[in-house]
């Protein structure tokens, strides 16, 4: 796990070398984000996940928007949607730190012996990270996020579930006016 984190940090730093300064994320700018993962070695076989987001800057550096997520593995499928907000810290360089909070609903279908059925839960997702701008309209984002659910939907070893999960997200963000 530590090697994956270090590799993601090195990739983000390398992509940011020589990049243009971050644009001012000003009022009325729109953001489109895409991130995902393929993890072939989970307790539940291969896991594939896709996260999409669209946002609108209501103030300079402050975005609100909508999210959609989809995940699938050998014995569970899930889909979710919600809203999010982020506050971006202007640095004048290519790296722009941010903090955010998402609120949403997640539907998960389990197909594991002893754990079958569907669960629909609310999810709160605090997030902190950095956007490294490749040019004034595109950035690579790297963040750490935690997910707190109102029910147990996150699969652990031995077919146990939890209300809490955390992950590192690497994604792309595109900005337009």
Q: CB-based contacts of 163: which residues, under 8 Å, 6+ apart?
A: 148, 149, 150, 151, 152, 153, 154
- C-alpha 47/C-alpha 158 separation (Å) is 16
Structure tokens at 101: 């909070």
Most confident by average pLDDT, 63-67, 132-136, 160-164 = 63-67
Residue range 42-54: average pLDDT?
88
- Domain span including residue 94: 2-176
The CATH number of residue 26's host domain is 2.40.160.20
- C-alpha 159/C-alpha 42 separation (Å) is 12
Per the structure, the count of domains in the chain is 1
Neighbours of 38 (CB within 10 A): 9
DSSP class of residue 60?
Answer: T
Residue range 97-125: average pLDDT?
92
Q: Report the predicted TM-score, pTM, of the whole model to 2 decimal places.
A: 0.81
- C-alpha 116/C-alpha 31 separation (Å) is 38
**Predicted confidence band at 41 (pLDDT cuts at 50, 70, 90)?**
confident
């Amino acid at each position: 796990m530590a090697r994956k984190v270090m590799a993601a940090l090195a990739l983000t730093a390398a992509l940011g070398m020589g990049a243009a300064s971050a644009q001012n994320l000003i009022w009325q700018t729109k953001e489109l984000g895409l991130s995902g993962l393929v993890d072939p070695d989970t307790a539940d076989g291969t896991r594939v996940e896709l996260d999409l987001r669209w946002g609108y800057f209501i103030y300079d550096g402050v975005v609100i928007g909508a999210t959609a997520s989809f995940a699938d593995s050998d014995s569970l499928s899930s889909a979710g949607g919600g809203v999010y907000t982020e506050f971006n810290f202007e640095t004048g360089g290519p790296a722009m730190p941010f903090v955010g909070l998402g609120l949403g609903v997640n539907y998960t279908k389990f197909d594991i012996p002893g754990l079958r059925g569907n669960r629909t839960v609310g999810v709160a997702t605090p997030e902190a990270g950095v956007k490294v701008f490749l040019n004034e309209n595109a950035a690579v984002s790297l963040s750490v996020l935690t997910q707190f659910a109102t029910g147990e939907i996150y699969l652990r070893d031995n077919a146990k579930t939890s209300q809490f999960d955390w992950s590192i997200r690497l994604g792309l963000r595109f900005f337009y006016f």
